[in-house]
């Protein structure tokens, strides 16, 4: 594992699921992590889980759909650690009552999903990029989705947010390459998290069983399996990568519709 000792990292949606695993992996690798979430008990649990790790995790309540919260997170990291080296735009929501075709989707639901999943990436970058420039560079990694590449039914806002995240990744990579800021994305397949489990009524056994069928590796993924890829992309091992996405999906995107 790469050494991130002394690096300042912000993880949005870091309280549970993939963001929790990313926060803990960075702390294990020596980083100082600002974990942002709206679920305070979950955030506190991540802080506790990192006790004894070489790095630290500080929790901050922040609804990253809002400009003030994003600005506050960057200011907090600067106050604590003098800057931001790595930004993980991981947050995402896919509410069960949003599974609707566009003509039935309430406008407010569209706005909320786009604001949390996509606008937060813009806002965090807006405030973090100037700080990264002062540090002579940095890394931004966006959690998109395989659903940014291919569509399931009745997820117009989620699909648009994830496709937008992939486009934003390319755009930011171009605009900040001259500043030595690399920008990358990961596309998880089905990962064992509270978000995914909501779809099976929090029945994790059912989630594992049903999700396994779709993925060529014959199982769903673990949050730690996304986190390890994120840490590689943030490391010097990926120093010539920018503007690219990596599928972390057990082969899901390799499978054609005619495969079975
Ligand atoms: N789990 C999967 O199968 C899967 C697949 C593809 C992509 N993803 C993406 O991975 C990312 C993480 O997903 P997950 O499965 O870990 O989700 P999760 O729901 O398990 O965890 C997300 C965390 O974000 C927090 N959060 C929600 N709204 C927030 C807000 N406005 N501000 C700050 N924090 C907020 C939640 O409280 C939660 O702790 C998301 O972008 C999701 O779209 C997940």
CATH number given to 8-193+225-247:
3.40.50.720
What is the average pLDDT score of the chain? 98
* Closest atom, ligand 1, to C-alpha of 15: 39
> Ligand 1 within 6 A of 90 CB?
yes
> Ligand 1 within 6 A of 211 CB?
no
CB burial readout 118-143, b (16+ within 10 A) else e: bbbbbbbbebbbebbbebeebbbbbb
Which DSSP category does 258 fall into? T
The percent of the chain in helix, strand and coil, each rounded to the nearest 5, is: 50, 15, 35
Sketch the domain layout of the chain as residue ranges.
8-193+225-247
pTM of the model: 0.98
Q: How far is CA 202 from the centre of its chain?
A: 21
Residue range 136-159, pLDDT digits in tens = 999 999 999 999 999 999 999 999
Residue range 24-50, pLDDT digits in tens = 999 999 999 999 999 999 999 999 999
Is 99 annotated as catalytic? no
């Amino acid at each position: 594992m790469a050494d991130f000792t002394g690096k300042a990292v912000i993880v949005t949606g870091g309280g549970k699921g993939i963001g929790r695993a990313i926060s803990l992996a960075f702390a294990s690798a020596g980083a100082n992590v600002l974990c942002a979430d709206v679920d305070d008990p979950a955030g506190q649990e991540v802080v506790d889980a990192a006790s004894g790790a070489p790095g630290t995790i500080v929790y901050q309540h922040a609804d990253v759909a809002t400009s003030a919260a994003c600005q506050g997170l960057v200011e907090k990291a600067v106050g604590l650690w003098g800057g931001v080296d790595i930004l993980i735009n991981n947050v995402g929501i896919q509410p069960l009552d949003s599974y609707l075709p566009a003509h039935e989707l309430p406008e407010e639901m569209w706005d909320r999903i786009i604001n949390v999943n996509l606008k937060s990436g813009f806002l965090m970058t807006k405030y973090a990029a100037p700080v990264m420039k002062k540090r002579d560079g940095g890394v931004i990694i966006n959690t998109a989705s395989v659903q940014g590449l291919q569509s399931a039914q009745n997820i117009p806002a989620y699909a648009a947010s994830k496709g937008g995240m992939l486009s934003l990744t390319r755009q930011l990579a171009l605009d900040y390459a001259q500043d030595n800021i690399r920008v990358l994305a990961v596309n998880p397949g089905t990962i064992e998290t509270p978000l995914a489990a909501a779809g099976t009524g929090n029945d994790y056994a059912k989630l594992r069983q049903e999700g396994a069928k779709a993925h060529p590796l014959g199982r769903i993924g673990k949050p730690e399996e996304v986190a390890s890829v994120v840490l590689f992309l943030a490391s010097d091992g990926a120093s010539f990568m920018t503007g690219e996405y990596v599928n972390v999906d057990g082969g899901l995107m390799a499978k054609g519709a005619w495969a079975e």
